[in-house]
Amino acid sequence: MASLIWLALFGRRGAFLWIYIWAKNGILSARYILGVTYEVKGTIPDYPAIYAVKHQSAWETGFMQTVIKNPVYILKKILTYIPLYNIMMFTAGYIPVDRKNNAGALRKMVKDAKKQLAKGSNIIIFPEGTRVAYGERGEIKPGVIALYKMTDAPIIPVSLDSGRLWPRNSFIKKPGKITVTFHKPIEKGLSREEFVKKLDEKINSNTTP
């Protein structure tokens, strides 16, 4: 992939292509080397949206980049230190969040997300903030709540069961099929509590052992 770093010279389009190739290579390697396949349920819309994705393994990080057009991740700032990949992150418009500055970080995150949505990008966020073991629930973080309240973009919950085959703290990967479900957008106008409850239910709908 280092040999394709020159794609950054083509700006966002080149960055998205590099990211797609990198991610697709990972998903194909998982399929043909590890025997990890997948099935997609639901509909992926053709308009800019915010995808709130259940996070159980590294697998979905790559997968979402292969099925979502112009994907822009909201991620931990520390991930921007990854060599080569960080160049493409910044070129594509990825949104790093400094968790040490909660209020300021949220305002900047929402502002940056609005800019990317206006450019036709799709935002991808892990609403629980980190990987959660298969069968477990994490706390819905303020970031996705702020995006729901402060943007007009639809929030699309995405549930999956990748942790069943690809445990977060295990080197061993099991062959099998991962099911990824794209749910209908959560309606606007809900209270914070109603939104959190509905999002939690949706992203955890197929994660019960």
Residue with tokens 């799709």: 122
Q: Calculate what percentage of the chain has a pLDDT beyond 90.
A: 68
| Residue 7 or residue 189, greater confidence | 189
Task: Give the tens place of pLDDT for each residue, 106-153.
Answer: 999 999 999 999 999 999 999 999 999 999 999 999 999 999 999 999
Residue 80, pLDDT > 80, answer no
Q: What is the mean pLDDT of the chain?
A: 90
The answer on pLDDT for 2 being more than 60 is no
Q: What is the pLDDT of residue 19?
A: 87
Q: Is the pLDDT of residue 90 over 90?
A: no
Q: What is the pLDDT of residues 24-70, one digit of tens each?
A: 999 999 999 999 999 999 999 999 999 999 999 999 999 999 999 99
Q: Are 179 and 73 in contact (CB under 8 A)?
A: no
pTM across the whole model? 0.92
C-alpha span between 87 and 107 (Å, rounded): 24
Place of tokens 């819309």: 45
Q: What pLDDT is recorded for position 134?
A: 93
Q: Domain 2-203 class?
A: alpha beta
pLDDT at 3: 54
pLDDT band for position 208 (cuts 50, 70, 90): low
Question: In the prediction, which pLDDT does 91 show?
Answer: 86
